[in-house]
A and B are shown apart, each in its own frame.
Chain A
Amino acid sequence: SQTIHQWPATLVQPVGSPLSLECTVEGTSNPNLYWYRQAAGRGLQLLFYSVGIGQISSEVPQNLSASRPQDRQFILSSKKLLLSDSGFYLCAWSPAGKGWEKLFFGSGTQLSVL
């Protein structure tokens, strides 16, 4: 069966520090991968998605970037965190081809930027 791992679960970082959140998927090949951000009272916002290694699409211009160095690995990064980057970050995957039919979410990372 397929599983998705996301870490760390919680992270407290000072303003201006770098960020690296990692997500890996097991049990499937060539998944579509996504990074969502969930801010309080604002629902889920798609930040990035990837349909293959090295292929990244950005939905929202911001202080963050994403990379997919391996088929089942998706990384969210920032060189310098802002206060507004605080939130709950969710990685998700879906089967290739019909990515919208069902998303499988990781357990999330609560990021607090102080």
Chain B
Amino acid sequence: AQSVTQPDIHITVSEGASLELRCNYSYGATPYLFWYVQSPGQGLQLLLKYFSGDTLVQGIKGFEAEFKRSQSSFNLRKPSVHWSDAAEYFCALYSGAGSYQLTFGKGTKLSVIP
């Protein structure tokens, strides 16, 4: 069965600093991978997704993520964090085969200090 692990429950960064949120997955084949962001008390919004091709994908709000098959990772990065980026971030995996089930990680809460 597939799984998604986000090792960091909570990360705090200073505004303007770079950011990397980690995501590791377990799946026998190449998965479809996603990053979603959730602002407090709100639903989730898709930041970016990887299906195939270029392993570095660009998303909204200046985020990017890199798929590394050898490390089973799909880490999210941003070169300079803004205070409005404070939110919870979820990595998710879709295995295919006609299922409607996305497997989500438990999330990483990002705090930004001025």
A interface residues (Cβ-Cβ under 8 A, vs B): 4, 6, 9, 32, 34, 41-44, 46, 49, 51, 57, 59, 90, 92, 99-103, 105-108, 110
- Which chain B residue lies CB-closest to A100? B94
The answer to whether A92 and B43 have CB atoms under 8 Å apart is yes
CB within 8 A of A105: which of B9, B43, B105?
B43
Q: How large is the interface on B (under 10, 10 to 19, 20 to 34, 35 or more residues)?
A: 20 to 34
Q: List 20 A-B contacts (CB under 8 A).
A: A9-B41, A32-B100, A41-B106, A42-B106, A43-B106, A43-B107, A44-B44, A44-B90, A46-B100, A46-B101, A46-B102, A51-B100, A90-B43, A100-B94, A100-B102, A101-B49, A102-B49, A105-B45, A106-B43, A108-B42
B25 at interface by CB-CB < 8 Å: no
Partner of A110, one of B41, B44, B106, B107: B41
A92 to B43, CA, bound (A): 9
- Beyond the given pairs A99-B100, A101-B49, A102-B46, 19 more chain A to chain B contacts, judged by CB atoms under 8 angstroms and listed by A's residue number, are A9-B41, A32-B100, A34-B100, A41-B9, A43-B106, A44-B44, A44-B104, A51-B100, A59-B101, A90-B43, A90-B44, A100-B32, A102-B49, A103-B36, A103-B46, A103-B102, A107-B43, A108-B43, A110-B41
CA distance A42 to B104 in the complex (A): 9
Say how far A109's CB is from chain B's closest CB, in angstroms.
Answer: 10
B46: which A residues are within 8 A, CB to CB? Answer: 102-103
B24: min CB distance to chain A, Å: 14
- Whether A43 and B104, one on each chain, are in contact in the complex, defined by CB atoms closer than 8 angstroms, is yes
Report how far A107 CA is from B67 CA in the complex, Å. Answer: 29
The residue in chain B whose Cβ has the minimal distance to the Cβ of A101 is: B49
Which residues of A lie under 8 Å from residue B43 when comparing CB positions? 4, 6, 90, 92, 105-108
Q: Is the CB–CB distance between B105 and A43 below 8 Å?
A: yes
Taking a contact as CB atoms under 8 Å apart, the answer to whether A103 and B44 are in contact is yes
